[in-house]
Amino acid sequence: MNSENNLYINGREITIESEKNLLEVIRKANIDLPTFCYHSELSVYGACRLCLVDVEGRGINSSCSMKPEPGMKIKTHTKELRDIRKINIELLLASHKRECTSCVKSDSCKLLEIASKLGVEDVRFKQTLMNKGIDSSSPALIRDMDKCILCGDCVRACDEIQGIGVLDFAHRGSGAVVVPSFGKPLGEVECVDCGQCARVCPTAAITPKSDTKEVWDVLDDPEKYVVIQVAPAVRVSLGELFGYKDGENVTGQMISALKHLGFKKVFDTSFGADLTVLEEANEFLGRIESGEQLPLITSCCPAWVKYAEQYQPEFLGNLSSCKSPQGMVGALIKNTLPEKVNVDKKNIVSVSIMPCTAKKFEITRNSAEFKDVDYVLTVQELGRMIKEAGLVFGELEPESFDMPFGFKTGAGIIFGNSGGVAEAVVRHLSSNLNGADATVSDVIELRGINGIKRKRITVKDRQFNIAVVSGLKNAKELLNKIQSGEESYDFIEVMACPSGCAGGAGQPVTHNSETVAKRGKGLYETDKMLQLHNAHENPLIKDVYESFLKSPGSKIAHDLLHTHYKSRKRFEGGISLIQSGEEKKKISVCVGTSCFVKGSQKLLNRVVRHISVEGLSDEFEVSATFCAENCDKGPTVVVEGEIINHCSFDDLKKKIDTFRSE
Amino acid sequence: MNSLLDLNAIKTDYQNRAKNVTRRIIICAGTGCMASGALKISNEFKRVSTLMGVHIETELKKEENNYNLLTGSGCQGFCQMGPLVTIEPEGIFYVKVKPEDVSEIIIETVLNGKPVERLLYKGNISGKSCKTQQDINFYKKQTRKILADCGNINPEDIEEYISRGGYEAAQKAVTEMTSIDICREILNSGLRGRGGGGFPTGRKWLLAQKETNDKKYVICNADEGDPGAFMDRSVMEGNPHSVIEGMIIAASGIGADEGYVYVRLEYPLAVRRIKKAVEEATKLGILGDKIFGTDKRFTIHVMEGAGAFVCGEETALMASIEGKRGMPNPKPPFPAQSGLFGKPTIINNVETLASVPGIIKNGAAEYRSIGTKESPGTKTFALTGHVVNTGLIEVPFGTTLREIIFDIGGGVTDDEGNLDPEGFKAVQIGGPSGGCLTAEHLDLPLSFDSLISIGAMIGSGGLVVMNKNTCMVQVAKFFMQFTQNESCGKCVPCREGTKQMLSLLEDITEGDADEHTLEILFNLGLAIKKASLCGLGKTAPNPVLSLLGYFREEIETHVMQQRCPAKKCKSLLTPVVIEEKCKGCGLCIKKCPVGAIAGEKKQPHYINEALCIKCGACIEACRLDAISEGV
CATH of the domain at A148: 3.30.70.20
| A397 shares a domain with A304 | yes
A396 CB-side CA count, 13 A: 24
Banded model confidence at residue B2, pLDDT cuts 50, 70, 90? low
Cβ contacts below 8 Å, chain A against chain B, sum to 110
What is the average pLDDT across A364-389? 91
Looking at A173, A194, A209, the residue that finishes a domain is A209
Residues A281 and A357 in one domain: yes
Contact yes or no for A172 and B500 at CB 8 A: no
Q: Provide, as residue numbers in chain B, all residues whose Cβ is less than 8 Å from the Cβ of A152.
A: 490
| Chain B residues 439-498 with a CB less than 8 Å from chain A | 484-493, 495-498
With bands split at pLDDT 50, 70 and 90, how would you rate the model's confidence at B1? very low
Q: Is residue A652 part of a domain?
A: yes
pLDDT-derived band at A434 (thresholds 50, 70, 90) equals: low
| Amino acid type, A204 | A
**What ipTM was predicted for this assembly?**
0.89
Q: CATH code at A622?
A: 3.40.30.10
Query: Contact at 8 Å (CB) between B411 and B387?
Result: yes
How far is B200 from A416, CA to CA, in rounded Å?
Answer: 57
SS3 for A572-595 is CCCEECCCCCCCCEEEEEECCHHH
Contact list, B329 vs chain A (CB under 8 Å): 46
A150–B531 CB contact, under 8 Å: no
Whether chain B has a CB inside 8 Å of the CB on A52: the answer is: yes
- Given this model, what pLDDT does residue A472 score? 96
For residue A179, list its beta bridge partners: A168
Kindly list the residues from chain B whose CB atom is less than 8 angstroms away from the CB atom of residue A92. Answer: 492, 496
- How many angstroms separate the CA atoms of B385 and B367, rounded? 31
Residues of A in contact with B531 (CB under 8 A): 49, 52, 60, 84, 87-88
Residue A164 has pLDDT above 90, yes or no: yes
| Measured distance CA(B140)–CA(A484) in Å, rounded | 69
8 Å CB contact between B79 and B33 = yes
A169 touching B (Cβ < 8 Å):
yes
Q: What is the mean pLDDT of residues B435-463?
A: 88
Q: Is A44 on the interface with B (CB under 8 A)?
A: yes
Determine the distance in angstroms separating the CA of A89 from the nearest CA of chain B, rounded to an integer.
9
What was the pLDDT predicted at A624? Answer: 84
If asked whether residues A310 and A324 sit together in one domain, one would say yes
Which residues 571-630 on chain A approach chain B with CB closer than 8 angstroms?
A: 594
Contact B520 A124 (CB under 8 A): yes
Do residue B492 and residue A92 have CB atoms under 8 angstroms apart? Answer: yes
Q: Residue A593: what pLDDT?
A: 79
**pLDDT over threshold 70, residue A134:** yes
Task: Please provide residue A106's backbone torsions phi and psi, each rounded to the nearest 5 degrees.
Answer: -60, -25
Of B495, B499, B530, which is closest to A84 when you measure between CB atoms? B530
A10 to chain B nearest CA, in Å?
A: 20
Q: Which of A569, A568, A571, A567 is nearest to A627 (CA)?
A: A571
Res B125: pLDDT? 67
Query: Which of B489, B493, B498 comes nearest A176 by C-beta?
Result: B489
Of B322, B495, B533, the CB nearest to A150: B495
Q: A172 and B499: CB-CB below 8 Å? A: no
Instruction: Determine the average pLDDT of the residues in B584-608.
Output: 91
Cα nearest neighbour of B485 on chain A: A173
What's the confidence (pLDDT) of residue A581? 52
Nearest-CB residue to B329 (from A46, A172, A632): A46
pLDDT at A657: 86
A412 and A321 share one domain: yes
Please name the residue of chain B whose CA is at the shortest distance from the CA of residue A175: B489
Domains contained in chain B, CATH given: 14-137 (3.40.30.10), 158-368 (3.40.50.11540), 378-470 (3.10.20.600), 473-560 (1.20.1440.230), 573-628 (3.30.70.20)
Name the residue facing B533 among A47, A95, A128 (closest C-beta).
A47
Please tell me if residue A124 touches chain B, with a CB cutoff of 8 Å.
Answer: yes
Specify if A100 maps to a domain: no
8 Å CB contact between B243 and B236: yes
- Give the pLDDT confidence of B386-401 residue by residue, as tens digits: 999 988 999 999 999 9
pLDDT for residue A149: 96
Q: In what order do the strands lie in the sheet with B92-94?
A: B56-57, B67-73, B21-28, B85-88, B92-94
Give a yes or no: residue A566 inside a domain. no
Query: Does pLDDT of B176 surpass 50?
Result: yes
Beta-carbon separation of A631 and B491 below 8 A:
no
Q: Where does the pLDDT of residue A291 fall: very low under 50, low under 70, confident under 90, or very high at 90 and above?
A: confident
User: Based on the domain organization, do A187 and A224 belong to the same domain?
Assistant: no
Q: Which domain holds residue A655?
A: 575-661
Best residue of B258, B275, B496 to probe chain A, by most A CBs closer than 10 Å: B496
Looking at chain B from residue 287 to 326, which residues have their Cβ under 8 Å from any Cβ of chain A? 308, 310, 322-323, 325
Residues A499 and A470 in one domain: yes
Angle made by CA atoms B306, B309, B312, in degrees to the nearest 5: 90
* Minimum-distance CB partner of A631 among B323, B330, B500: B323
A126 touches chain B (CB under 8 A): yes
Mean pLDDT over the full length of chain B: 92
Pick the last residue of a domain from A24, A53, A77: A77
Over 70: is that where the pLDDT of A237 sits? yes
Domain count, chain A: 4
- pLDDT (tens digit per residue) in B304-340: 998 889 999 999 999 999 999 999 999 888 999 999 9
Residue A355 falls within a domain, yes or no?
Answer: yes
CA distances from B192 to B171, B183, B319, B377, B450 (A): 23, 13, 24, 9, 14
Can you tell me the distance from the alpha carbon of A195 to that of A356, in angstroms, rounded to the nearest whole number?
8
Based on the domain organization, do A489 and A374 belong to the same domain? yes
Higher pLDDT, A358 or B455: A358
Distance from CA of A229 to the nearest CA of B (A): 43
A180 and A282, same domain (yes or no): no
Nearest-by-CA chain B residue for A46? B330
How high does pLDDT run on average in chain A?
90
Q: Is residue A510 part of a domain?
A: yes
**Residue of A44, A84, A151, A177 to mutate, testing the B interface (most B Cβ within 10 Å of its Cβ):** A84
Other C-beta atoms closer than 10 Å to the C-beta of A236 total 30
Contacts of B540 (CB under 8 A, 6+ apart): B432, B433, B480, B483, B487, B494, B497, B498, B501, B528, B529, B532
In a domain, A109, yes or no: no
Q: Does B337 touch chain A (CB under 8 A)?
A: no
Chain A residue nearest residue B489, CA to CA: A173
Q: Transcribe A341-398 into DSSP letters.
A: HT--GGGEEEEEEES-STHHHHTTS---SS-S-SEEEEHHHHHHHHHHTT--GGGSPP
Paired sense of beta strands A12-15 and A6-9, if any: antiparallel
A91 touches chain B (CB under 8 A): yes
Range B52-77 average pLDDT: 88
> What confidence score (pLDDT) does residue B273 get?
94
- Whether residue A387 is found in the same domain as residue A295: yes
| Contact (Cβ atoms closer than 8 angstroms) between residue A158 and residue A169 | no
* A6 within 8 A of A13, measured Cβ to Cβ: yes
Pairwise CB contact (< 8 Å): A60 & B531: yes
Rounded to whole angstroms, the Cα distance separating B478 from B462 reads: 15
Say if residue A465 is in the same domain as residue A580. Answer: no
* CATH for A15: 3.10.20.740
Task: Kindly list the residues from chain A whose CB atom is less than 8 angstroms away from the CB atom of residue B332.
Answer: 65-67
**Domain harbouring A451, CATH code:** 3.40.50.1780
Residue A113 belongs to some domain of the structure? no
Q: Tell me: the pLDDT tens digits for A6-16? A: 999 999 999 99
- Assigned domain for A325 exists: yes
- Residues A598, B304 contacting (CB under 8 angstroms): no
Instruction: With beta carbons under 8 A apart, name residues in chain A contacting B492.
Output: 47-49, 88, 91-92, 149-150
Mean per-residue pLDDT, B26-34:
90
Residue A457 and residue A552 in one domain: yes
Is the same domain home to A490 and A636? no
